[in-house]
Structure 1
Amino acid sequence: MNQPSFHRTRLACWTVNLSMSVVAMLPPLLFTAFYQLYQISYFQLGALVLINFCTQLLIDLLLSFYGHKYNLTKTIKLIPVLTAAGLLLYAVLPTVFPNTAYGGLVIGTIFFSASGGLAEVLISPIIAAIPSDNPEREMSRLHAVYAWGVVGVVIISTCFLQKFGKASWPWLTGFWTLLPVIAAVLFSRAPIPDMQTPQKTSQVFRLLFSRDFLLCFFCIFSGGASECIMSQWASSYLEQAFLLPKVWGDLLGVALFAVMLGIGRSAYAKYGKNLSKTLMFSATGALLCYLSAALTNHPLLALAACALTGLFTAMLWPGSLLTASGRFPASGVAVFALMAAGGDLGAAAGPQLLGAIVDFLLQNPAVSTFAESWKLSALQFSMKAGLLFCSIFPLTAVCFFTTAKRRFTENPQ
């Protein structure tokens, strides 16, 4: 029997990951427009981020424990449909009902966040299940597509809003809806490889509480936090700590980080080998970048450190997935779902912790006096201190990846 061609399937998965870069990066770029056009408070805007996270985490957990109850092929083909519907609702509802604009944004966010949760759990195992001479490189290529998508979304969206104004944001959102539409067309005729999933919830609990899996879980937790702290805070850090204009903070902070993220994943996809050593080296490099960015007073060095963090964190998330799936090959979709939950927790907890530290320090009167002795404003000092404290995430990543390498080498399965 001839092996089916999965070329269209790979293209569909890559296009879905491009769509996920829109879901992740477009809303934050529009927050200022929503504040000015609809008088939506920063608390409400922050709540949109929380809704996004909670929706994705709920999907992760549902598929972790009950994945065997769903038709995975139909669920996979539903992902781009939900993404397109969410983006359209996000654009249309606030425009048609401006007095209840926030409600429209919430509805759109729930739809495309659900698609994001499904994509996190199901797209990677599709690539892992497709026969390949080097599955590690295929996984890296998939995640590189996401990183390059972030670069495109940030640059194109920033230039579009600069050219046509903030009021044009619905047209920009409509434009990005084309990506999930293309993905839906590709998936409609793409073969889906067979994917394993535990047939009983008790099997998932055994996986969840195994020592080896918990080690993998904390690897992706610390790796996800290390990546997302810098990707979400680099722009504000460069703007506030080094007084760069916002447009340059966005382009140099976010886009350059994403460029390096894409370079790291693309390089591994083409040349990569010895994953465990790569992860240990990457986590160590990320730690040095965090320390350099936090401790330097030179803007160019800080910019370089922020950007290079993208290079060094590039493989921490996909590498953790590969490590876990290789350690638990029979767990299939469940291991990807639980790992996605761990990555999401790190991606949410890390940036939130940095923000909490900055707020706490700014409320302490003694910080202003101490900052002046270093010739810094209270905000500059607080941002630097927060980033320095958050270097605990790449530090723990070094420890977890080193332990995983030693343990999995000594006790192969």
Structure 2
Amino acid sequence: MEQKQNFKSTRLACYRGYIVQGIVNNLSPLFFVIFQKEFGISYGMISSLILFNFVTQIIVDILCVKFVDRIGYRITAVAAHVCGAAGLLSLGILPRILPFPFLGLAIATMITAVGGGMIEVIISPIIDSLPSDAKDAKMSLLHSFYCWGQVGVVLITTLAVKLIGEEYWWLLPLFWALVPAYNIMKFAKVPLMPTIPAEEKIPLGALCRSKIFFLAMVLMLCAGASELAMSQWSSLFAEKALGVPKVLGDLLGPCLFAVFMGIGRTIYGIWGAKLNLHRVLALSSVLCVLCYLGASLVPNPMIALLSCALCGFSISLMWPGVLSTTSAAYPKGGTAMFGVLAVCGDIGCSVGPALTGAVSDFVSRFGAFAASLSVTADQLGLKAGMLSAIVFPLILLLCLVLLKRALQKKKLPG
């Protein structure tokens, strides 16, 4: 009974870790419009901040693949939360004291990204290593806490900015830093399962030569891109492209997006054992395509916002579903396997929003064409940027078809 209780505390620490991930990935985008007003940050600079975040996470993911098994889960988990707390503190302080605010934003973004990258690599294999049935459902439930972290940070931050005023936005990152600071103490104590012995692990080279693993890497890239292109841009998209007031836009855009994503992951976490994961992923990809079409092409702002929100449900199982499918195919893959998949996912997390921002920035230059359509240049650019992201769920759907065939040849579940 005592061991079961101990592992419960480990799971709770992991759940909080994903809440921290939801905070560090989604807090800064809520301030993009404020950054534009206070610091004169352009769309290109906003795209750069998003890119800095996920490029840093990619680098950290790669390093973790090599070093996590040497330094251990505990040290890595504690260090991840130290960086998360330090980065959030920096976000509230550095832009206001440095002569170039963008430099402060960039430094804070990269510090939080170091923590986020380590969390991404370390938490999933910790959960996967714990004794349990229906590991794919447990993985989905773990990732649902990312969504609830995102919901909390969007809801509380949006309402707090409304109550205290935009000029005091910098207090909120200091408040949110308390969450990773608390989890530092917890991860320092909870019991952890030993890692897979080196002689039992599947060599990384053998994994990368496998068609199934290659498809899993592409799927992770598209999953990350499909998710972050919407979540990172939906706040700005709602306000500038749809003309919705910021508070309403944040609540019906990124906040409801996260709610639907959390609902999808929680449902699968509870009843996933009764569902066919591959079929659910395919249907989710189709729904994701429809959501991007609705958000970018439907002229009614409320329907477009609902499309943004439903996109959260459509992508809810993509990331944890691919991790679970790959782990089932390669149970001896070890931390390196999760690390490589995290690298691919974070590449997608940078490519998706970066493509959306680049297309938005380019198309917004055609002011005369926008005027002929009775929209502003910003509206045209942001709608075009959102539409461009549809390529990722389309590729994901194609790869799912190929993965099912590959799994059937290997006589693995799919």
1:409 and 2:408 aligned: yes
Q: Is the 8 A contact 2:68 2:76 kept in 1?
A: no
Aligned-pair CA distance for 1:36: 4.4
Aligned-pair CA distance for 1:198: 5.4
| 2:271 aligned residue | 271
Aligned-pair CA distance for 1:140: 0.9
- Shift in CA distance, 108/362, structure 1 to aligned 2, threshold 3 Å: closer
Q: Match for 2:55: what amino acid?
A: C
Aligned-pair CA distance for 1:24: 1.0
Aligned-pair CA distance for 1:41: 6.0
Q: Is the 8 A contact 1:262 1:314 kept in 2?
A: yes
| 2:347 aligned residue | 345
- Shift in CA distance, 75/385, structure 1 to aligned 2, threshold 3 Å: closer
CA-to-aligned-CA distance 1:104-148 (integer Å, 9 cap, x gap): 444433322111000000001111111112211111111111101
Q: How does 1:292-311 map onto structure 2 within 5 Å?
A: 292-311=294-313
- Shift in CA distance, 201/154, structure 1 to aligned 2, threshold 3 Å: same
Match of 1:285 among 283, 287, 299: 287
- Shift in CA distance, 34/293, structure 1 to aligned 2, threshold 3 Å: closer
| 1:397 aligned residue | 396
Tell me how far apart the structure 1 counterparts of residues 183 and 256 of structure 2 sit (CA, whole Å).
27
Q: How does 1:7-406 map onto structure 2 within 5 Å?
A: 7-37=8-38, 44-94=45-95, 97-99=97-99, 101-196=101-196, 203-272=203-272, 273-364=275-366, 367-368=369-370, 371-372=372-373, 375-406=374-405
Tell me how far apart the structure 1 counterparts of residues 317 and 375 of structure 2 sit (CA, whole Å).
35
Count of aligned pairs between the two proteins = 409
Where 1:330 maps in the other structure, the secondary structure is coil
Q: Match for 2:344: what amino acid?
A: G
Q: Match for 1:6: what amino acid?
A: F
Tell me how far apart the structure 1 counterparts of residues 128 and 379 of structure 2 sit (CA, whole Å).
44
- Shift in CA distance, 390/107, structure 1 to aligned 2, threshold 3 Å: closer
Tell me how far apart the structure 1 counterparts of residues 383 and 170 of structure 2 sit (CA, whole Å).
36
- Shift in CA distance, 44/243, structure 1 to aligned 2, threshold 3 Å: closer
Q: Match for 2:227: what amino acid?
A: E
* Percentage of pairs with the same residue: 38
- Shift in CA distance, 259/210, structure 1 to aligned 2, threshold 3 Å: same
- Shift in CA distance, 247/324, structure 1 to aligned 2, threshold 3 Å: same
CA-to-aligned-CA distance 1:11-68 (integer Å, 9 cap, x gap): 1111111111111111222344445445566655544333222221111111224444
Tell me how far apart the structure 2 counterparts of residues 98 and 346 of structure 1 sit (CA, whole Å).
31
Tell me how far apart the structure 2 counterparts of residues 101 and 200 of structure 1 sit (CA, whole Å).
49
Q: Is the 8 A contact 2:55 2:347 kept in 1?
A: no
Aligned-pair CA distance for 1:186: 1.5
Q: Match for 1:295: what amino acid?
A: L
Tell me how far apart the structure 1 counterparts of residues 308 and 2 of structure 2 sit (CA, whole Å).
48
Aligned-pair CA distance for 1:194: 1.9
Q: Is the 8 A contact 1:219 1:397 kept in 2?
A: yes
CA-to-aligned-CA distance 1:349-408 (integer Å, 9 cap, x gap): 112112222333333477347x53xx5445434433433332121111111112212321
Tell me how far apart the structure 2 counterparts of residues 350 and 284 of structure 1 sit (CA, whole Å).
18
Which range is displaced more, 107-116 or 155-164? 107-116
Tell me how far apart the structure 2 counterparts of residues 205 and 297 of structure 1 sit (CA, whole Å).
49
Q: Match for 2:291: what amino acid?
A: C
Q: Is the 8 A contact 1:64 1:204 kept in 2?
A: no
TM-score, structure 1 normalization: 0.90
Gaps of 5+ in 2: none
Tell me how far apart the structure 2 counterparts of residues 344 and 228 of structure 1 sit (CA, whole Å).
10
Q: Match for 1:240: what amino acid?
A: K
TM-score, structure 2 normalization: 0.90
Tell me how far apart the structure 2 counterparts of residues 283 and 117 of structure 1 sit (CA, whole Å).
25
Aligned-pair CA distance for 1:259: 0.9
Q: Is the 8 A contact 1:38 1:98 kept in 2?
A: no
Aligned-pair CA distance for 1:199: 6.9
- Shift in CA distance, 98/240, structure 1 to aligned 2, threshold 3 Å: closer
Where 2:203 maps in the other structure, the secondary structure is helix
Where 1:297 maps in the other structure, the secondary structure is coil
Aligned-pair CA distance for 1:336: 0.9
Tell me how far apart the structure 2 counterparts of residues 207 and 235 of structure 1 sit (CA, whole Å).
39
CA-to-aligned-CA distance 1:213-232 (integer Å, 9 cap, x gap): 11001111112111111112
Tell me how far apart the structure 2 counterparts of residues 109 and 362 of structure 1 sit (CA, whole Å).
26
Gaps of 5+ in 1: none
